[in-house]
Structure 1
Amino acid sequence: MTPEEKYELFEKYCRQDLSVEDKATLDQILTEDEAANQELKVYQELWSHLDSNFTTEKQQQELKDNLKQIGDSYFNTTTTPKKSKVIQMPKWAYAVAASVVLFFGVYFFNQGNPTYDDFATIPELSMGERSNSNEDAKNVEKVFNAGDYKAAENYFSSLLTEDPDNTQYQFYYGIALLEQNKYANATTVFESLYKGNSVYRYRALWFEALNELKQEKYESCAGLLKKIPEDAEDYQQAQKLLKKLD
């Protein structure tokens, strides 16, 4: 189990959100690893302070800076440790807290909802032989891969007029719309694809889920993610995003 996975269990424990399986896993960790018991105590201490005493952004930043100082003081022996005025912990806890901070990146400060940019990886467009005989195909490949999605939208509109059933055009056209925050238009394109049987079916479903995520429609995003099958290219990413939305 990675440190991140362990601290995710700690997080759920503090929120009283452990599943039966999670509880069994945590119990096993605490039974087999004495250090994990100390880490959990520290995590509970930090959680308690954050949850009860630090309600403003300024207060949270002060605590975050303080935790970074703990890590710096513990791992850099040339630095004179500074006294903290924000939290009080037993001396034995500082080494463990340093590990929590450095290994986990102050996890509980990043408990906001996931964002589109966290998960969106734009696939490269390759028009292949089409670009050799069609000027618009050559141009759309160039501008799309350069991130000029407005120009790509215009080229795809032209290409789809000539070849409306081309699913490659449709898929990348949908992405060009999504990247410009043209959500409704992108949904129309992606829905048509994932309700069909083309090779872009589940890729379109993934990007429609990202479309919902970008609009902070988390419930509908999760609903779409659950429809992505295990053999789909984006299944693992979909599961990771579902876990973040849980």
Structure 2
Amino acid sequence: MNEEAYIRFENYLNNEMSEEERLDFESELRDNSQFKESFELYKETTAFVKQKFSPETMAFKKNLESISEGYFAEGKKKAKVISIKPWHYAAAASVLLLLGTWIFNKDSMPEYSDYSQHENAAFVERSTNDENLKNAQDFFNQKKYAEAVASFEEIRNADNPEYQYFYAIALIETNHFKKAEMLLESIRNGNSVYKNKATWYLALSELKQLDYEQCKELLRQIPEDAEDYENAQKLLQQLE
């Protein structure tokens, strides 16, 4: 589970999502079993921690610090005895398990952010003075992806594979995965220069959604002569 997933989980549980974000999140819960499993584990664990820790968190922390000093301070022959209630041990174990799992997964599994270094868009000079297209390009290059999405949706020549390619990336960045994947599937089934890049970004979309098996399946479809082949092989090795 990556940091972005935790943020989305927290925002959903705290009702801090827009209506569109909430619908996208719930759609992903229905369609992605691995994402749903991670969310349920996170929800159950955080609920347990909140229930058990909230009243005495600071006191518990001080007790742990005192015990640590007693065991590890140089020159002391005996540890300072501190009375800790039995539930403290269970709660501490739960937190350690949660943090340990998060750290292990973070260290062992690649993340979308490791591979999301996008090329700049540069198509305005070939456009027909479409202000929305210029805005889409500028917002994309400034990494203002929500604004880029809004501008892409207003352009006139929506069938251009180049525009669709950058539009799809902006959609992935804003977690509109289904719409992005529809565009990318259309591109990779065509004959444009973005054909193989579309497959690469389909794989990255699955990586961001934590669907590692589907990500690997797409990575294996990228041919050796593709620009992203080396990155695909690197990511594939990390996922194996």
Report matched runs for 1:42-81 at 5 Å: none
Which residue pairs with 1:123 in the alignment?
119
Asked whether 1:173 is paired with 2:167, we answer yes
- Kindly indicate whether the alpha-carbon contact (under 8 Å) linking 1:206 and 1:225 is maintained by their aligned counterparts in 2: yes
Which residue pairs with 1:203 in the alignment?
197
Q: Which has the higher contact order (CA 8 A, sep 6+)?
A: 2
**1:235 paired residue among 215, 221, 229:** 229
Which residue pairs with 2:147 in the alignment?
151
Residue 239 of structure 1, CA deviation: 0.2
Which residue pairs with 2:178 in the alignment?
184
CA distance in 2, matches of 1:131, 1:190: 21
State the identity %: 44
CA distance in 1, matches of 2:219, 2:230: 10
**1:214 paired residue among 208, 214, 227:** 208
TM-score (normalizing by structure 2): 0.54
Root-mean-square deviation (CA, aligned residues, Å) is: 1.8
CA distance in 1, matches of 2:177, 2:217: 17
Which residue pairs with 1:138 in the alignment?
134
Residue 148 of structure 1, CA deviation: 1.0
CA distance in 1, matches of 2:127, 2:109: 40
Which amino acid in 1 is paired with 2:213? Answer: E
Residues 128 and 226 (structure 1), Cα distance of their counterparts in 2 relative to 1, 3 Å cut: same
**Segments of 4+ in structure 1 off by > 4 A?**
108-111
TM-score (normalizing by structure 1): 0.53
Report matched runs for 1:10-25 at 5 Å: none
**Size of the alignment, in residue pairs?**
137
- Kindly indicate whether the alpha-carbon contact (under 8 Å) linking 2:135 and 2:151 is maintained by their aligned counterparts in 1: yes
Report matched runs for 1:107-122 at 5 Å: 111-122=107-118
**1:226 paired residue among 220, 223, 229:** 220
| Structure 2: segments with no counterpart, 5+ residues | 1-103
Measured against aligned partners, the alpha-carbon deviations of 1:58-91 in whole angstroms (never above 9, x if no partner) come to xxxxxxxxxxxxxxxxxxxxxxxxxxxxxxxxxx
| Structure 1: segments with no counterpart, 5+ residues | 1-107
- Kindly indicate whether the alpha-carbon contact (under 8 Å) linking 1:130 and 1:138 is maintained by their aligned counterparts in 2: no
Residue 243 of structure 1, CA deviation: 0.4
Specify the SS of the correspondent of 2:110.
Answer: coil
Which amino acid in 1 is paired with 2:110? Answer: P
Residues 109 and 224 (structure 1), Cα distance of their counterparts in 2 relative to 1, 3 Å cut: closer
CA distance in 1, matches of 2:183, 2:141: 20
Residue 164 of structure 1, CA deviation: 2.8
